[in-house]
Structure 1
Amino acid sequence: MVESYLRQSALAHLGLEARDPSGQEAAPVRLQEKTLPAAVNLRGDPSDEGFLSAVHQALGVALPLEPNTVASSERTAVLWLGPDEWLAVSHDDEPTAESRLAERLREALADFHASVTEVGESLACIHIAGPRAADVIAKGCPLDLHPGVFAAGHCAQSHVAKAAVTLHRVSDAGAPGAASGPGYDLYTRRSFSDYLWRWLSDAAREYLGA
């Protein structure tokens, strides 16, 4: 685990925290860097009921078994990555959140053939929302983002421009409690985060009158 005093967001050098958020809710595209994700890669046998039950007990949420879907609780989201692979994420400011998440899983799965790997320090998460958010992403992503096939609660591994991403649609337009327009979390490697942020910012300019 990285010492807490050494932790900083992947985009700290851009000074995003100093931006004035007033008026952003009505913007057609809104970009923000989300809190450093506590993220754990999990692999195991989905046909083993004992494994599924142990994970459910540890996370408080059942593993999603349908391809490209997400199961969420109040604190944790679990993204389907493959037939036997998932990504459990929590945007928690507590520096030990990731190690605690991994420890709960390792204790629960001690008697199972499974792997639990902490990966949060290698990732960054960029959130993009607004009525034109999907249009911005579509400029560099081959996925069909139509809400009929990629609604809230869906995820997919793909790329945006040249950056590999795991894309999670976290909300739909008009969802209760949601800001205007759909919202997406884009997980990418820290080394790609600056490039991806700048690419998204440039791609959004036509919708922001810039």
Structure 2
Amino acid sequence: MAETAPNAPLRSPLSHVADRLAAATRASGGAIRLAELPFLAQIDLRLDAKGPAAEAVGLALDLQLPLQPNTAVRAGESTALWLGPDEWLLVGPPGTERDLESRIREAAGDEPVSVTDVSAQRTTLLVTGPHARDLLAHGCSLDLHPRVFGPGRCAQTTLGRTQVVLAAREEPRAGFWVLVRSSFAGYLADWLLDAATEYV
């Protein structure tokens, strides 16, 4: 078993390419911005969307769970992404995963729910800029036109042959979140950097 220093700082899955992401952003002159958003809290939630727990959890989080397929809802610093009829991914600021989990469990009470902290499973790439959609379209089979995949939309899909959760952010010019498994993050970052050469 490998030994680790007890107080060693956490390293994000893409810390080794942070300089390259920043360099590509500078070289594009603002056409593309690539950055990692490391350590976001991510909670996988499963419950009956029509049961009493759904409303109670929504009230506890001040965030109504989206019921329309492939949509996302943001309230405050938290976002709920629809993954299936009874499954959501809750995303919050780094370090809030325990708070989110305890609030969900307390609100659900004895109702059947599944609450799993998956924060360490994925990291998040931020892709913004006027050509963000064009860049993503190079490797994603979804129709990313704003009329189809506009702000507040999300989907489980593939990007550069890598499984991701893709979310179009609701804020103006906020771009996209690309949530990718940590083990594939380096590959996907390399793919994005290669595809971005068209804009630099």
TM-score under structure 1 length normalisation: 0.85
> Which residue identity lines up with residue 66 of structure 1 in the other structure?
Q
Give the conservation status (yes or no) of the 8 Å contact 1:38–1:120.
yes
Which of 180, 183, 190 is 1:198 aligned to?
190
* 4+ residue segments displaced more than 4 Å: 3-6, 17-26
Q: Closer, same or farther in 2 for the Cα pair 1:18/1:127, shift >3 Å?
A: closer
Q: Which runs of 5+ in 1 are unaligned?
A: none
Total equivalences in the alignment: 195
Which of 3, 16, 20 is 2:19 aligned to?
16
> Which residue identity lines up with residue 123 of structure 2 in the other structure?
A
Give the conservation status (yes or no) of the 8 Å contact 1:78–1:89.
yes
User: What secondary structure, in the 3-state scheme, does the structure 2 residue paired with 1:33 have?
Assistant: strand
> Which residue identity lines up with residue 39 of structure 1 in the other structure?
Q
> Which residue identity lines up with residue 126 of structure 1 in the other structure?
L
Q: Closer, same or farther in 2 for the Cα pair 1:144/1:20, shift >3 Å?
A: closer
> For residues 40 and 151 of structure 1, what CA distance do their matches in structure 2 show?
24
Root-mean-square deviation (CA, aligned residues, Å) is 2.3
Which of 51, 54, 59 is 1:52 aligned to?
54
Deviation at 1:8, TM superposition (A): 2.1
Q: Is structure 2 residue 66 aligned with structure 1 residue 64?
A: yes
Deviation at 1:91, TM superposition (A): 2.8
Give the conservation status (yes or no) of the 8 Å contact 2:28–2:199.
no
User: What secondary structure, in the 3-state scheme, does the structure 1 residue paired with 2:169 have?
Assistant: strand
Which of 87, 90, 102 is 2:89 aligned to?
87
> Which residue identity lines up with residue 72 of structure 2 in the other structure?
V
> For residues 184 and 14 of structure 2, what CA distance do their matches in structure 1 show?
10
> Which residue identity lines up with residue 87 of structure 2 in the other structure?
E
Give the conservation status (yes or no) of the 8 Å contact 2:18–2:36.
no
Q: Counterpart of 1:207?
A: 199
Superposition map of 1:97-112 within 5 A: 97-112=96-111
Superposition map of 1:129-148 within 5 A: 129-148=128-147
Which of 41, 44, 64 is 1:41 aligned to?
44
> For residues 108 and 67 of structure 1, what CA distance do their matches in structure 2 show?
24
Deviation at 1:58, TM superposition (A): 2.3
Give the conservation status (yes or no) of the 8 Å contact 1:125–1:188.
yes
Percent identical pairs in the alignment equals 38
> For residues 199 and 16 of structure 1, what CA distance do their matches in structure 2 show?
15
Superposed CA offset, 1:174-205 (max 9, x none): x3xx3xxx600000100010000110010010
Q: Counterpart of 2:155?
A: 156
User: What secondary structure, in the 3-state scheme, does the structure 1 residue paired with 2:148 have?
Assistant: coil
Q: Counterpart of 1:125?
A: 124
Q: Which runs of 5+ in 2 are unaligned?
A: 1-5
TM-score under structure 2 length normalisation: 0.89
